[in-house]
Every structure is written in C-alpha cells, then in structure tokens.
Amino acid sequence: MDVVVLAKYVPNPSGSPPEIGPGLRLRREESDGGLDPSDEPGLELGARLAGEHDGEVIAVSLGPERAVRALHRALALGADRATLVVDPLLEGADALATAKALAAALGRRPFDLVIAGVESSDGATGTMPMTLAEELGIPALTFARRCVVENGRVSIERQTDSGYDTVECGLPALVTLTAAAAEPHHPSLRETIEAKKKPIERLSLADLGLDAADLGPTQRVTSVEIAPEKQAGELIDASEAPRRIVRLLEEAGVV
Amino acid sequence: MDAVWVYAELDPYGAVAPSTLELLTKARSLGPDVAAVALGPGAGEAAAILGEYGATTVFAGDDAVFVDHPAEPTAYVLGRLAQAHRPQLILFGPSYDARDVAGRLQGILGCALVANVDDVLDTDHVRLTVALSLWPGRPGNLRGGIAGAKLVDVELSGPAPRLVLARAGAFEAMPSAGRAEVVAVDVEVPAERRRTRRLERHEETDTGPKLEEARVVIAGGRGLGGPEAFALLEELARAIGDAAVGATRPVVDAGWAPFRMQIGQTGKTVKPDVYVAVGISGAAQHVVGMKDARRIVAINQDPDAPIFQLADLGVVGDALTVLPALIAELESARVGAARAG
C-alpha cells in the first residue's frame, strides 16, 4: 500500500515576523523554517501503514526551494522518497492553485492513501485537503483522532462537538489527522543520516503539464494595517497571586 | 442580481447552529436577496427560524443521505444549486463540517475561498486578521490582541459564487420579522457521491455550565505539563461556581481534554467576564478564541510569554503552586463572607 503524506514547509515559529512584500504578499525569508508540526503524525502513521501493508511512503511538498528542509525532516521521520513541487509561478499560490498543482503531482503515479494535517500551522484554512480530494476524484475523511486501514477500506474516529463519529470509505482516499492519531517519534541519528541518501524529485509546473493560466489567483490583498495594540496589564509575583486574583474575581462580580 | 447564500448547518437532531443565524444576520446587511441552504433531516422545519434571521428563500432537503454520507453529497447538491441559481457569495461557519463542504465545493466549482474571515465588507471584499507570528517567540513580535497581527482586506475575483468561511462569533445574531419561502431540493445524489459512510455516533455527556455561557472560563495549555495538572482547573472551576474549563488545541490533541473544550481558531470562541489562562503561551490560534473576554488573568512560568501582553493581571509562576493556593484563598474568602453575613 503506497501512502502519500503532504509535508508543508512553514516558517520558524520563533523567527522574526515576515515583511509585507511586493503585491502586499507576506514575504517569508527566514532561513530556518521547517516541516509543519501538524504533518508529523501523518508521517508516523503513513510509515506504520506502509510497513504493515507492504508499500512506500512518499512525502510531497509544494513551496519554494527552501521547502526541501521540510522534506529532509519527512524523510528522517519515515518517508521513503520525496517530491517537491517548486516553480516561481507558484509564489503566492492560493489554496485552489495549491490543490490543483498537488493533484497533478499526485496523479502521476497510483497511490492508496493520501494523508494531510487537519490544517496548517500558519494559514490554518483547513479546506485544501478536501479541495485536493475533489481534484483527485477520491473520497475524504477528515479530523481523525484515530485511523485504521483494513481490507481495502479506511475507517476513522472523527472528532465531533459531543464525542466522535466512526466514518469509513474505500481506497484510494484522503484522510486528515489531528495530532492524537499518531505520536511522532524523534528520528535517531541513523535515520537522519539515512534520510540524506533518499531521493528527492523536483517538479515544475511544466513537468506537471500546467501553466499560470490554470492557476490564476482568485483573491488579492488590497490593504494591510497593523492591528491596534492593547496596553499590557500588571505582572505580579506568584506569592501575591491568590489574593489579587480573588480580588479581581470579586470586582467582576463572579464570586 | 447579487444573491448572498448561507450554508445552514443542522446538528444531528435538526437544530440550526448558532453560527448560521449570525451569518444570516450579516447576509441581510449585504443585500435583499438572501437564501439559506439546509440539507439533512429537519431542514424543512428549520426554515422558520432561518426566515426569522434573514433568509427570504430556504432551499431545504430532508434526505438522510446528507447525514449518512458525510460532506460529499452536501457539496455536490450545493454545487448543483449554485450552478442553477448563481449566487454571488456563499457564507459558511467555522466548523469542520462546514470546512469539509466548502473545501470540496471549491474543487467542484473552481472558485475563490477565504477562511477565518472577521468581516464581510461587500460581496467582493472581506476583512481578516492575519497573525504573522505562529507561536510566541520574541517580545518584538507582539502587536495588539494577537502576536504580530495585521488586519488584511482581500478582494475576491474569479467565477461566482465566492466561498467565505467566517470565524466563530464574527457577527452578532439578531432576528428580523422575516419569513422565508421554502423551495424543496430534489437533486438526486448519485452513488459515486455517496462514498463515505457514517457508521456510528458516540456522544459523551457534559456536566457544568457550557463553555460559551459560563461567566468565568479557566483554560489550560501545554504549560500545565500533563493531564493531572489539568484536573486542578476543574477544581478551581468548582470553587468559583459559574465557571467552565477550556483547553488549547495542543492539549486537546494530546488527549488531556476532549475536543468540545477546545478554544481558538478551530474550536470555540468565548467572551466571558473573566478568562483565566493557565500554562497558555498565547499562540495566535488560541488568542482569536478568547481575546474579547472582559478581564484576562494569565498564569505562566515564562515571563516573556505573549499571553502577558493581553492579560489585565499576569502571574509569573508555576500553576501547580498557584492554583492550590488560589483555591484555598477562595474557600477561606467564602468562609469569611459566610461568617460576616
């Protein structure tokens, strides 16, 4: 069973904030970004499923050349090989363009399962995997806290407001995972070294048979302003805390 | 004609989601032609309340296919209706059910989609808050309610309809005196759009005041260290009374708390009188769900945690020491008040 795991490059969480670049795009030039932590459970589960069902894990990313760093991490976490969709025309690609380009990349070879995070840590739109499933013409199960593959079908526990639902479908399919679905391991030194020998394929839009007209933007930022600042309150020591918090609760009339 | 549609979300028992009523209230400020699309058992009965909040037309389909087979039949039928009636905009709430429908619908229609929207300015423009810093990092990242936040206006283009997903609580729901004309949806869902199946629903019981209604919300983050410390929050909630416990997404993902307790971008939005953030650093995704609390208290060991920029009262300290002392203080204050009374 071959598993594709989407591996997004995100800027370093503790890095400096990006600048507003030409065309009011957010320009992220940090040198030390990496794999979105939301994608790590998918790599862990993907490696487990491919191991049990005799297949391969392919990590796929779309982004600038530096997104290769996310793929290095994905390979250390258990992917067998990786694909980077990289093209200057994809700079600033919205979710629809991303889904179309990823669908073209994934459509080049058969697969059984596509795994994605529920939403990225930076954009947090949370709709791209479903759009990708539609572009690929496959069913999708989302928001899984548990995911099992048996007899050519995939079944998940989907988190709901009151508990969870059990939902299932046949393969090939796409699933999105929460962090509860699998606990990523820390790659060993050996895994990190071995990862450097694994192949990384690069695909441009021309390789995918797409051009800019296929990926036209559907939105444009017209203005950006800094949100108003709030005055920070008082910082106190732990020893004063009980008395001060009780006073605040009393002032609010809640105790 | 610039019709604005609202995707009406129904719960498993046919009740309309509060976010749907908020969206309808907003939709009627954008133009006179407002429709709601309600799919699933209970859709017909939902038409009355949908009309009351602003829908002039309700497209209603009661078929169980929409709950037995999640997301895909709904997106398929919504797509067929949109192709037939050509609305300019379709508004969705922030739930995962809504995201699934909207994401697949974007693939079907090849149209624009914007999520996490704070305001819809007109049928071509939306406004959202973009957090430029993902997680707390440097004090220099701090801007306003959200670390490094910018207000961004976005113009939508390309084929109609455009799909807009609003944040929880972005708009206030206000009824009008309206009534909706009901149009029965009779689109047949083909077998190839019934590929996902819901086998079972597991419902867990919830006690105490609801998160959205409690006057005090006590929320825990990763900084608590583990599920045992999380139990202290429940104890504090009981000591206060009208208080509910919430959690950040990492805590829910780690399994210390159920999803219904999640506060933030992908969870609930709360606006209590007092919000007590314990072991929460102040990541943007959490902050959007609580920044409108009237008073904010933060307890965190890291004096540089961004949550302190937001807090009216910040306590630098270990929650495992501060919380038991606070609970004891509340109890002695209560005893003192009882004696005085």
Same domain, B60 and B188: yes
Least confident of A1-15, A99-113, B124-138: B124-138
What average pLDDT does the segment B181-201 reach? 96
Cβ-defined contact of B241 to A224 (cutoff 8 Å): no
Q: Is the pLDDT of residue B50 over 90?
A: yes
Tell me how many degrees the CA angle A77-A81-A84 measures, rounded to the nearest 5.
100
Residue B142: alpha-carbon gap to chain centroid: 24
User: What residue in B sits closest to A120 (Cα-Cα)?
Assistant: B134
Other beta carbons within 10 Å of B285: 22
Cα A50 from Cα A57, distance rounded (Å): 6
Our CA dihedral for B73, B74, B80, B84, rounded to 10 degrees, sits at 160
Q: Is residue B202 one of the residues assigned to a domain? A: no
Chain B nearest-CA distance from A26, in A, is 9
Tell me: do B143 and B223 sit in the same domain. no
- Whole-number percent of chain B with pLDDT over 70: 92
Residues B229 and B90 in one domain: no
Instruction: Let me know whether B158 and B294 are in one domain.
Output: no
Nearest to A221 among B129, B153, B308 (CB): B153
Residue in A134, A180, A223 nearest the CB of B104 = A134
Average confidence score pLDDT of chain A = 89
Residues B33 and B107 in one domain: yes
Which DSSP letter does residue B160 get?
S
Task: Identify whether residues B39 and B107 lie together within a single domain.
Answer: yes
Give Dmax (Cα) for chain B.
Answer: 72
More confident residue, B164 or B338: B164
Domain shared by B187 and B220, yes or no = no
With a cut of 70, say whether residue B1 has pLDDT above it.
Answer: no
Q: How many domains does chain B have?
A: 2
Tokens 């202290």 sit on residue: B232
Among residues B127, B158, B193, which one ends one of the domains? Answer: B193
B306 found inside a domain: yes
| E strand residue ranges, A13-139 | 19-20, 26-27, 34-35, 57-62, 81-85, 113-117
Task: Kindly state whether residue B301 falls inside one of the protein's structural domains.
Answer: yes
- The pLDDT value recorded for residue A121 is 73
Residue A27 pLDDT: 54
Phi then psi for residue A73, to 5 deg, are: -65, -45
| Lowest mean pLDDT across A223-232, B65-74, B166-175, B259-268 | A223-232
The structural domains of chain A, ordered by start, are 3-251 (3.40.50.620)
At residue B147, does pLDDT exceed 50? no
Domain end (from B193, B208, B243): B193
- Predicted confidence at residue A228, as pLDDT, reads 64
Give the whole-angstrom CA distance, residue A255 versus residue B241.
7
Residue B138: per-residue pLDDT: 32
Average pLDDT over residues A185-198: 93
CATH number, domain containing residue B178: 3.40.50.620
The C-alpha atoms of residue B327 and residue B276 are separated, in whole angstroms, by: 13
**Inside any domain, residue B206:** no
Confidence label for A133 from pLDDT (cuts 50, 70 and 90): very high
Longest dimension (CA), chain A: 67
Min mean pLDDT across A20-24, A45-49, A65-69 is at: A20-24
Q: What is the CATH number of the domain that holds B284?
A: 3.40.50.1220
User: Chain B neighbours among A 160-219 (CB < 8 Å)?
Assistant: 160-170, 178-180, 216-219
ipTM of the complex, rounded to two decimals: 0.89
* Per-residue model confidence (pLDDT) at position B270: 87
Lowest-confidence region among A138-142, B10-14, B205-209, B217-221: B205-209
- Put simply, whether the predicted model's pTM sits higher than 0.90 gets the answer no
**Confidence bin at B124 (pLDDT 50/70/90):** very high
Residue B147 lies in a domain: yes
* Owning domain of residue B241: 216-340
Same domain? For B185 and B125 the reply is yes
Measure Cα distances from A198 to A76, A82, A110, B34, B76 in Å: 9, 8, 20, 55, 41
Using DSSP bridges, classify how beta strands B89-92 and A34-35 pair: parallel, antiparallel or unpaired. Answer: unpaired
Contact in structure between A130 and B71 (CB atoms under 8 Å): yes
Substitution target in A132, A219, A220, A234 with the highest count of B β-carbons within 10 Å is: A219
User: What pLDDT, on a 0 to 100 scale, did the predictor assign at position A19?
Assistant: 54
Residue A231 pLDDT > 80: no
For residues B56-83, one letter each, b for 16 or more C-beta atoms within 10 angstroms of the residue's C-beta and e for the rest, the string is bbbbbbbbebbbebbbbbbbbbbbebbe
Per-residue pLDDT at B151: 79
Residues of A in contact with B75 (CB under 8 A): 134
Residues B17 and B121 in one domain: yes
Average pLDDT over residues A143-157: 95
Are B127 and B254 within one domain? no
B238: pLDDT strictly greater than 90: yes
CA distance A52 to chain B (A): 24
* B159 and B236 housed in the same domain: no
Share of chain A above pLDDT 90, in %: 67
- CB A239: neighbour CB atoms within 10 A? 12
Q: Among residues B108, B110, B123, B109, which one has the least CA distance to residue B154?
A: B123
**Residue B211, in any domain of the structure:** no
The mean per-residue pLDDT over the stretch B245-272 comes to 88
Residue B198 belongs to a domain? no
Domain-located, residue B210:
no
pLDDT reported for residue B48 = 96
Residue B205 has pLDDT above 70, yes or no: yes
Q: Which residue of B has its CA nearest to A224?
A: B152
Q: Could you tell me the pLDDT band of residue B134, with boundaries at 50, 70 and 90?
A: very low
Residues of B in contact with A122 (CB under 8 A): 134
Residues of B in contact with A17 (CB under 8 A): 132-133, 141, 148
Q: What is the pLDDT of residue B131?
A: 59
User: Do B142 and B249 share a structural domain?
Assistant: no
Greater confidence (A227 vs B224) lies with B224
Stretch B111-126: mean pLDDT: 93
Which residues of A fall within a CB distance of 8 Å from B274?
A: 248-249, 252, 254
